[in-house]
Amino acid sequence: MSIRTMYIFTILTVMLLIGPANTGLTQEGKPTAGQPLSFGPGQTLIDLSQVHFEPLKSEGVPPGPEIAVLRGSMSTGPVEVLLRLPANYTFPNHSHSSDETYVWLKGPFTYINGDGRAAKLGGQTFIGLPPHVPHALACGNEPCLLYVRYSRTFDMKIHPLPTLK
């Protein structure tokens, strides 16, 4: 794990522990509740206890996930978001045309690869995926919270859920 990745993971974990996640930006990146703060160009400071989540609405995704844009734009990318999944929720098998970086912050989950191989993880996990890699995410018996970064425009292609191996 690179020093930068460890730094991001540490900062997000500390911010999560300081207060419950609620974001200051809507799904399209419009500020709410005076967020985000900035002390100069390129600086983004968000009090994660003030985060405003909205339902994630995307074709093929059953209701349940909530998203909060931290920085960037879903429609033009790059974009960084917080994503909440309810307990016992399986996010459909999908892929993106962008690479993606996950830092799983809270909640046990199972990562399901596009070929059906799966890994049960206890939370606090780093996941880095290149573009066009099908995968599904199954949240365990607690709600899940994760940070995700897409280097390009957010898009999603739904694939059939593979048989688990």
pLDDT tens-digit series, residues 140-152: 999 999 999 999 9
Tell me the two tokens of residue 130.
Answer: 């290149």
Compute the average pLDDT of residues 23-30: 48
Size of the chain, expressed as the number of residues it contains: 165
pLDDT tens-digit series, residues 33-64: 456 777 888 888 888 878 889 999 999 999 99
User: For residue 156, is pLDDT > 70?
Assistant: yes
Give me the sheet containing 135-139, strands edge to edge: 118-121, 109-113, 135-139, 90-95, 157-158
Element (H, E) at 119: strand 118-121
Domain boundaries, the chain: 3-158
Which fold does the domain 3-158 belong to in CATH? Jelly Rolls (2.60.120)
pTM: 0.77
Q: Which residue has the higher pLDDT, 30 or 129?
A: 129
